[in-house]
Amino acid sequence: MNRRWIWRMALRDGRRGVKHLLLSMSCVILGVMSVVTAYSFRDNLQSAIQRQSKSLLGADLAIDSRQTFSESSEALIASLGGEQSRQIGFASMAYFPASGDARLVQVRAVSGNFPFYGALETEPKSAVGDFQRGSHALVDENVMLQFNARVGDRLRIGDGEFVIKGKLRKIPGETLAFSLISPRVYIPLSRLDQTQLIQKGSLVRYRVYFKLSPEMNVDAWVEKMTPELQRLGLEADTVRRRTATIALAMENLSRYLRLAVFVAVLLAGVGVASGIHVYVKDKFSTIAVLRCIGASPRETVFVYLIQTSVMTLAGSVIGALLGTALQHWVFLALKDFLPVSTVTSVATAGIGVGFAVGLGTAVLFSLIPLVPLRKISPLLALRSAYEARGQARDPWLWMICFLIVVMVGVFAVVTSGGWRNGFYFTAGVLGAFGLIVLAARGLSAAMRRFAPPLLSFPWRQGLANLHRPNNQTTAVMLAIGLGTFLLVTLYSVRSFLVDQAEERAGVGEPNLVLFDVQRDQRRNIGELLKSFDVTLYDEVPVVTMRLAAVKGRRVEELRSDPASAVPRWALRREYRSTYRSHLSGTEKMIEGVWQGKVNGPLDSIPVSLEKGIAQTLGVKLGDPLLFEVQGVPLLTRVANLREVEWDRVRPNFFVVFPEGVLEEAPQFYAVAARAGSPEASANFQRALVNRFPNVSAIDLTLILNTLNSVLAKVTQAVRFIALFAILTGLAVLGSAVLSSRGQRIKELILLRTLGADRRQVIISVVAEYCFLGALAALTGALLAVVASWALGLYFFKVWTAIAPAPIAVIVVLVSGLTIIAGVSGCWGIFRRSALEALRAET
């Protein structure tokens, strides 16, 4: 490559026909742009998390408990000093008198200047400082929009009435998407007693936030005091822990983005290989002449490798610049899922990695059409019929393909963070590409041998174009097929999730669940249900308890043991259990013997465990578990395991006791019912909030609305990410259409000379892209159906039924767009006469 004439030859030869490489350059630009955008997004997000680490917690330290702080706990809290802020959180119904609507919300009663770092974003801004000075509330903006509430309206929580002081837009460390699932309402802690909602057995979270001296090492203090915190039943959260948790979640989001755009990079590589293939095909005679005058095979390859390298380098630079600018739009698309306020800047490391990945992919794919050039013989300059042989068995081509597979695998393993996930991604991508390529090759072979003789000449000519020399069937099918695959998968996953939830509201299924029903309220609530024509399905007693020991080992010991495989959440959570003599309709016993009633005292109480929690705790049949109910120990043993349908609208439990044990324990009831219409459900809930403010209601209609809202945001974000691959596919399609323009001019000359009119020529092009688009779209749709089924069965654990009608609409639309793209790219050719085209060629 140091020989000056090779560079001079590459420059001179590139002056003529180099514009065809610009088509491949557009694919390089989009590929590099997408990967630089993804990596820059990751770097800026990580930087934002580190910069705003304290605002993610809002304090230097947070200590929380599921029970009221004991005297020992208060002494420990007081010993820390610093500035403190208290918060009590619980779920309750919020009632809006102006509209008569009610909704289950997360109430947070606060005192002090929380957050100490960051800020509660409200409208108006002054509401943050004003709402604690009276019976005021800050209400989640989504809830206010849902019920058309305004600042100044009244809000009732339990027996307390509050005035809405402001809209709550964002909380430090929490995402906007989370507010759709669990909307928040802030009230002053000093006014909490007005609600009369904190009762024995209520699920309440007590938390203290601290702003401590900068000299104090909070993490070292927590590590030192962990045994004491566990003894007191306290949990500590520090800035470092919260930052690590959020960073891990954001890294998973970033990994998905990088894996998604890598599909666009591979598709761009296909476009580069396709464009360069057409370009060098026209250079065969030039290469043969170079061989005749003494150029070696390697030197001739280097001439065109220089051209393509310069093209890919220029495209990579432009793509890197565009990717750096585009990352701002990624933050906008994903803002509802980000817990930090982001500021985009030039991420040099992200640009470097993205540039290397995009450029490396483009160069590897460009070698596929360039390496065979060394097989071209000087005889081609003397014998036009000479043809190179044995390219399919070229070991260099196999080596390049192997390197591409290795590149995909390495990228997948590094990005996904594990060999298994990397293997699955690599297998999925290569499988999708392979199936579409196989379909393209099969289509070409079928049209070569079995073209339908009943079709008219223009249609037969269109089908023949699928296997003509320099055809772009494979590239176009990859572009269209992958685009259709993404669209159908997005639609199918969202559709079956919503359908699955709606199925649970079918005839004969409860669609309303009431919680925290006290014993003395059961009869009156039953009468209220009847008065609103709401059918009562079941009343289930609920007893709150804590796990004290697992297989003879105390929970405190397990939590402090780094070798313990039991997750901390399973050891510290409150278990809401029930007792009954029979299985419910949402349960199936899979192992052991059911014992529904016990008589008299026993050494250990036989209980039924849900199989998932049994696996989490690492217990099997016969293993002992020690629970505590209000300080009273209950020694139990695992008598059987159950499989529970958690997605059914029924009260379901991890632990079920037999009758004869918990009847005298403090308890409340969960009531399952069915309202005949959304109006009946809303009317009942209004009356329920007015008469029984302590009772919370979960409405399946609200769940469906929330699910639709969340899925809409998820789909919007995923659609934006998929846009990288779709845009690259469109570039590949356009490149394929325009790259074959020279070939079509020659066909036009022949067809028009042989007597074909303009209409027949247009029909032949329409026929080609009609068959090409339809088959590619069908292939992509079938792959998407299989992927959606696999996602539903293995990830969402539901059986998916894919609706064919919407998929058919997508296939028709994609096929129509393919035809329009194909005809538009050839339109200038149609308008030229045969003589004009012939002169242009001459």
Task: Please write the tens of the pLDDT for every residue from 606-641.
Answer: 999 999 999 999 999 999 999 999 889 999 999 999
Give residues with Cβ within 8 angstroms of 83, minimum separation 6: 112, 113, 116, 210, 211
Top mean pLDDT of 98-102, 482-486, 752-756 is at 98-102
- Does residue 453 have a cis peptide bond before it, meaning omega lies within 30 degrees of 0? no
pLDDT above 80: residue 463: no
Task: Note whether residue 662 is domain-resident.
Answer: yes
What confidence category does residue 809 fall into, taking pLDDT thresholds of 50, 70 and 90? confident
Q: What is the pLDDT of residue 741?
A: 62
pLDDT above 80: residue 176: no
Top pLDDT among 571 and 733 is at: 571
What confidence category does residue 707 fall into, taking pLDDT thresholds of 50, 70 and 90? low
Mean pLDDT, residues 715-731 taken together: 71
Q: What is the pLDDT of residue 660?
A: 92
Mean pLDDT taken over the chain: 82
Task: Note whether residue 765 is domain-resident.
Answer: yes
The answer to whether residues 562 and 457 belong to one domain is no
Between CA 118 and CA 58 the distance in angstroms is 6
Q: What is the pLDDT of residue 1?
A: 45
pLDDT above 50: residue 796: yes
Q: How many domains does the chain contain in total?
A: 4
Q: Which of 196, 215, 234 is the last residue of a domain?
A: 215
Top pLDDT among 86 and 47 is at: 86
Task: Note whether residue 529 is domain-resident.
Answer: no
Between CA 326 and CA 320 the distance in angstroms is 10
What confidence category does residue 36 fall into, taking pLDDT thresholds of 50, 70 and 90? confident
pLDDT above 80: residue 837: no
The answer to whether residues 579 and 626 belong to one domain is yes
What confidence category does residue 469 fall into, taking pLDDT thresholds of 50, 70 and 90? low
Q: Poorest-confidence range of 285-299, 319-333, 444-458, 736-750?
A: 736-750
Task: Please state, for a pLDDT cut of 70, what percent of the chain lies above it.
Answer: 86
Top pLDDT among 655 and 342 is at: 655
The answer to whether residues 374 and 470 belong to one domain is no
The answer to whether residues 735 and 592 belong to one domain is no
| Block residue for tokens 């772009």 | 472
Top mean pLDDT of 146-160, 294-308, 340-354, 472-486 is at 146-160
What confidence category does residue 412 fall into, taking pLDDT thresholds of 50, 70 and 90? confident
Q: What is the pLDDT of residue 87?
A: 94
Q: Which of 169, 197, 215 is the last residue of a domain?
A: 215
Note the pTM of the prediction, 2 decimals: 0.74
Q: Which of 406, 434, 462 is the last residue of a domain?
A: 434
Top mean pLDDT of 196-205, 378-387, 826-835 is at 196-205
The answer to whether residues 101 and 243 belong to one domain is no
Amino acid at position 726, single letter: I
Q: What is the pLDDT of residue 497?
A: 65
Q: Give φ, ψ of 186 to 5 degrees.
A: -100, 135
The answer to whether residues 426 and 461 belong to one domain is no
Task: Note whether residue 689 is domain-resident.
Answer: no
- The H or E element that residue 564 is part of is none
> What angle (nearest 5°) sits at the alpha carbon of residue 468, between those of residues 466 and 474?
50
pLDDT above 80: residue 838: no
Residues facing 668 on adjacent strands: 542
Task: Note whether residue 680 is domain-resident.
Answer: no
What tens digit of pLDDT does each residue of 572-602 get?
888 999 999 999 888 999 999 998 898 877 8
DSSP 122-172: EESTTHHHHGGGTTEEEEEHHHHHHTT--TT-EEEETTEEEEEEEEEEE-T
Q: What is the pLDDT of residue 249?
A: 79
Mean pLDDT, residues 653-658 taken together: 95
Task: Note whether residue 421 is domain-resident.
Answer: yes
What confidence category does residue 26 fall into, taking pLDDT thresholds of 50, 70 and 90? confident
Classify 722 as helix, strand or coil: helix
Q: What is the pLDDT of residue 167?
A: 92
pLDDT above 70: residue 804: yes
What tens digit of pLDDT does each residue of 235-293 get?
899 999 888 888 887 887 788 778 778 777 887 887 788 778 777 777 777 777 777 87
CA nearest neighbour of 315 among 35, 40, 38, 26: 26
Q: Give the CB-side neighbour count of residue 761, counting CA atoms within 13 A.
A: 24
The answer to whether residues 268 and 357 belong to one domain is yes
pLDDT above 90: residue 411: no
> N- to C-terminal Cα distance for the chain?
34
Q: Which domain holds residue 281?
A: 1-60+217-434
pLDDT above 90: residue 155: yes
Q: Poorest-confidence range of 464-468, 511-515, 586-590?
A: 464-468
The answer to whether residues 194 and 221 belong to one domain is no
Between CA 260 and CA 34 the distance in angstroms is 9
Q: Give φ, ψ of 828 to 5 degrees.
A: -65, -30
pLDDT above 80: residue 530: yes
Q: Give φ, ψ of 535 to 5 degrees.
A: -80, 125
Q: What is the pLDDT of residue 628?
A: 92
Between CA 678 and CA 420 the distance in angstroms is 46
Distances (CA, A) of 276 to 1, 315, 367, 407, 677: 20, 14, 9, 21, 63
The answer to whether residues 355 and 408 belong to one domain is yes
Task: Note whether residue 520 is domain-resident.
Answer: no
Between CA 39 and CA 754 the distance in angstroms is 55
Q: What is the pLDDT of residue 237?
A: 92
783 burial via Cβ count (<10 Å: 0-12, 13-18, 19+): buried
The answer to whether residues 227 and 322 belong to one domain is yes
The answer to whether residues 645 and 750 belong to one domain is no
The answer to whether residues 331 and 416 belong to one domain is yes
Top mean pLDDT of 336-340, 520-524, 792-796 is at 520-524
CA nearest neighbour of 96 among 168, 169, 145: 145
User: How many residues comprise the chain?
Assistant: 842
Task: Note whether residue 80 is domain-resident.
Answer: no
